[in-house]
Amino acid sequence: MKRKVLGMVLATSMVAATLVGCGGGDAAPAATEPAAEAPAAEAEAPAADAEAEAPAADAAAPSGNKVGVAMPTKDLQRWNQDGSNMQAELEAAGYEVDLQYASNDVATQVSQIENMINGGCSVLVIASIDGESLTTVLEGAKSAGIPVIAYDRLIKNTDAISYYATFDNYKVGQTQGQYIVDQLDLDNAAGPFNMEITAGSPDDNNATFFYNGAMDVLQPYIDAGKIVIPSGQVDFATVGTPAWATETAQSRMENILSSNYADGTNLDIALCSNDSTALGVENALAANYTGNYPVVTGQDCDIANVKNMIDGKQSMSVFKDTRTLASQVVKMVGQIMNGETVEVNDTETYDNGTGVIPSYLCEPVFADVNNYKELLIDSGYYTEADLQ
C-alpha cells in the first residue's frame, strides 16, 4: 500500500522538537524521599516544560564521589548506549563510576545494588529490570542515606526513590499513534484498515504509558470502524511482550498472521511499542506474509531497525536521544552531590505507589526515512557506516 508522506509542517515541528531535546524545566530542591502525600498519577504526562516544584530538601549533600549505575542488560543496544554515555559523562565530571549490567536477571541486579550500597556509592542510578522487585534492597539505600534516581523505568512501591528521569512516555505512544493517523489519512480515508498490536513488557511501567498513549489516539478510529483488529487481541495483558523479547513478538505475530491473514487479507498497521518488538514483527512478516506491507511503528532507533526503515521494512521509530537523558541525569547527580536544587519538570504524573516521584521528562520525536539523516547522522548519533 502506498503510504502518504507526512506534511512539511509536521516534519518541521518534530525536527524542531528534537533540537530542544530534553528541554528546560523548573528546579526542585534536593530530596531523598518523595512527599508523603501526593496526587494520583495523571493519564497523560504533561509537556517537558511544564512548571513543577518538588518537595523541599531535608538532607545534607552526600559525602563521597562514587556513583553506582545499574543497567538491566547488554542484550539491547539502547542500554549499552545509556550505560556508556552516562559513565563517560560522570567520569568527565570527576566522579568514580560503578557501572553494572544484570543480564535481565533480577537476583543479579539486586546483588549488584547491594554491592553498590556497601561499596561506598553516594548516589545510585537504577534502570530496573522489574520495577516491583527492588523494594527490599532499596531499604538499605534509604537507611544509608543514599539518594536513588530511577532511570527511564519507574521503580515501584518504595519510598527510597528520590527522583525519576525518563522521556515523556505517554507522548511516545501518542507520537506512534499520530504517525499512523497521518500516514493513512484516517481523518479522510474510508477504511477499514486492519491493525495488530504488539506492546511492551508487563513488568516495565513505561510499557503501559506507551500503549495508552497510542491507543488514546487510535481509539476514536477503532470506535468509528475505520480501524479493525482481526485477531481481536487488544487489551494490554494480551498484547504485551515479556522482556520486550524479539523472538516472543515474532512467534506471536506468526500465529496472528497464520490465523487471520493467510487468505490474503491485508495487514495495514503493525503498532509496535519499541524496536525489539518491531524487529520480531518484521521477521514474521518476511516469513509469513504476502499482502501489502503495513505501517510498522517502533521506538529507540536501533541500528537494525533504522536499516529496516531505510529498506522500507519499518515506517518509523520514536527517537529518544539517550545522550540527552544521560546528560540530564549527570546534571541531577551533580546537583544532589553539591546539595543544590535538583531540576525536575513534572511532579504530577509518576506515582510509584508511595507517592508521586519528582521527575524530569525529556522530549521524544520520530524518525522516518525522510528525516533520519538529520536526526541520527548529522547529530553524530550514528555514522553513515553504522547504517550500511
Residue with cell 552526600: 62
Considering just the CA atoms, what is the radius of gyration of the chain in Å?
A: 21
- pTM of the predicted model over 0.85: no
Dihedral of CA 316/45/80/332: which sign? positive
The full set of domains in the chain, from first to last, is 25-167+339-362 (3.40.50.2300), 169-319 (3.40.50.2300)
Burial of 325 from C-beta contacts in 10 A (0-12 / 13-18 / 19+): buried
Check if the beta carbon of residue 342 is closer than 8 Å to that of residue 169. no
CA 194 vs CA 48, 213, 222, 233, 336: distances in Å? 33, 19, 10, 12, 50
Dihedral angle of Cα 23, 85, 143, 31, to the nearest 10 degrees: -20
Alpha carbons 370 and 14: distance in angstroms, whole number? 12
Q: What is the pLDDT of residue 165?
A: 97
Q: What is the pLDDT of residue 75?
A: 86
DSSP string, 161-183: --EEEEE-HHHHHHHHHHHHHHH
Q: What is the pLDDT of residue 322?
A: 86
Peptide bond into 39 cis (omega under 30): no
The neighbour count for residue 384, using CB atoms within 10 Å, is 8
Alpha carbons 208 and 79: distance in angstroms, whole number? 20
Alpha carbons 309 and 295: distance in angstroms, whole number? 11
**Positions of the chain with pLDDT under 50:** 1-59
Q: Give percent above pLDDT 90 in the chain.
A: 79
Q: What is the pLDDT of residue 77?
A: 81
